Amino acid sequence: MRSIIGKRGEREPAHAIPELAAGSKKNTCRGVTMLKLAVTLAIYAALISVSSADQAYLGEKELRDLIVGNTVHGQGMQREILFEAFHGPNGTWRLEQSGTSLSGTWWIRSDGVLCVVSMAGESCSAIRKNDDGTYNLVSDGKPRAKWFKVTGGNSLSGARPPGEEISFPSLTVDPGASSFLIPRPRESQPAAVSGFLALPPGTDPLPVVILMHGCNGISGTEIAWLTTLNGLGIATFVVDGFRPRGIAETCSGKRRLNFATRMADAFGALDYLATNPRIDQARIAIMGFSMGGETALRTSQVRFQKHFAKGAGSFAAHLAFYPSGCITRLSEEDRVSGAPIRIFHGVADDWTLMGPCKAYIEHLRQAGKDATLIEYPDAHHARSTTLGLLSENCRTS
């Protein structure tokens, strides 16, 4: 409805209002009365609408009481993918969705808007409560996701990989060490790290894949691959580099884990498995994701093998999914073992760019090494669920 109030609160002249532009005085008065009634009803309806909308959106305290220390279970509006997200009391946040995981930090603004920062960037949403007890996450006026329910505690922390938990020796390197690649002896301390060994049925020595997690710790990604590999008759050993060190995640940058520490974990796992009678020592591969993908890739380089490997075992293959670190060129990086090197990378990944990894693989191929990069045209970062990758079109380079 057109406003009848002009600038500075002045009424528009009668001729500006069609209902008042013509007719008798009686009709004019009747028109004014009806118009006032219509305007009053419109204003009342608008006020009721605004009041209801304001009441539907959660305020800062109400939202904090709802989510802190709890897990929300929901679904994205666009792709309709189910997810679970935990909001820790210390401001840490973690989301599990379709076998992939994100983590970072969260906070609530004074106006009740929930903000999350992760590797995907910053996202802020108002939380609107629906009549059926669900909640909509609204951003830029549009619902982006729906929370179906909120359960007490962290349901994600209870998830652990299947298999026997085994402790093996490693090192924890000072994040401020003089070299992030090969530190001095005094810059590292002995550490005990956990791994989860899952064995498929059988009595013969088994091939095994060491799984190295990313900056958000063990997630559905590693567990999905564990399930698939075990189904193929291949054992798995999921390394947990965070929990024994009291680290929840490193994606947010609040905590760091030195590159050399991750290398020590990988070679410590190799040394342990090479002595396990259930494992075929000649068939121990390493697979990693993002940060763990860098570890899987760099363990192929001879200089790190000489420094970190303590036993006689060696990796049979290096499988790196969207690895970080390709942008950093290292000396002697073309001196790799003869084991196959495979990188799996999404062309659409804008977190760890594929270009530097592709250039590195081409460099290795020109040197006569067995190295290949498999591209997935429409895949983004962390698209590493077995179903997602094995079902998509790909090309090699």
Q: Structure tokens of 100?
A: 């992939």
185 & 231 share domain: yes
Longest dimension (CA), the chain: 107
Q: What is the domain-level CATH number for residue 118?
A: 2.40.128.640
Same domain, 52 and 66: no
Q: Both tokens of residue 48?
A: 């009721």
Domain assignment present for 159: no
Q: Are residues 172 and 49 in the same domain?
A: no
The reply to whether 300 and 378 lie within a common domain is yes
Q: Does the residue 329 lie in any domain?
A: yes
- pLDDT (0 to 100) of residue 70: 85
Q: Answer yes or no: are the C-beta atoms of 341 and 364 closer than 8 Å.
A: yes
Q: Do 105 and 48 share a structural domain?
A: no
Specify the pLDDT at position 266.
98
Residue 4 has a pLDDT of 29
With a cut of 70, list the residues of the chain below it in pLDDT.
1-55, 90, 98-101, 119-120, 154-159, 254, 382-397
- Overall domain count for the chain: 3
Q: Please check whether residues 133 and 264 belong to one and the same domain.
A: no
pLDDT digits (tens, 9 = 90+) for 278-313: 999 999 999 999 999 999 999 999 999 999 998 889
DSSP class of 86: E
Specify whether 186 is located in the same domain as 41.
no
Q: Assess whether 205 and 277 both reside in one domain.
A: yes
Q: Which residue type, as a one-letter code, is found at position 275?
A: T
Q: Are residues 200 and 295 in the same domain?
A: yes
| 99: in domain | yes
Are 262 and 249 in a shared domain?
Answer: yes
Look at residues 152, 178, 200 and tell me which one is the last residue of a structural domain.
Answer: 152
Residue 129, pLDDT score? 93
Q: Is residue 1 part of a domain?
A: no
In a domain, 354, yes or no: yes
How many CB atoms are closer than 10 A to CB 126? 18
Domain of 45 in residue numbering reads as: 7-56
Q: Which of 18, 36, 56 is the last residue of a domain?
A: 56
Domain CATH code at residue 308: 3.40.50.1820
Mark which of 114, 129, 152 sits at the end of a domain: 152
Rounded Cα gap, residues 325 and 386, in angstroms: 23
pLDDT given at position 395: 66
Asked if 109 and 31 sit in the same domain, the reply is: no
Residue 51 and residue 75 in one domain: no
- The edge-to-edge listing of strands for the beta sheet with 235-240 is 164-173, 188-198, 235-240, 206-212, 279-289, 317-321, 341-346, 371-376, 395-396
Q: Does residue 133 fall inside a structural domain?
A: yes
Q: Is 32 in contact with 20 (CB distance < 8 Å)?
A: yes
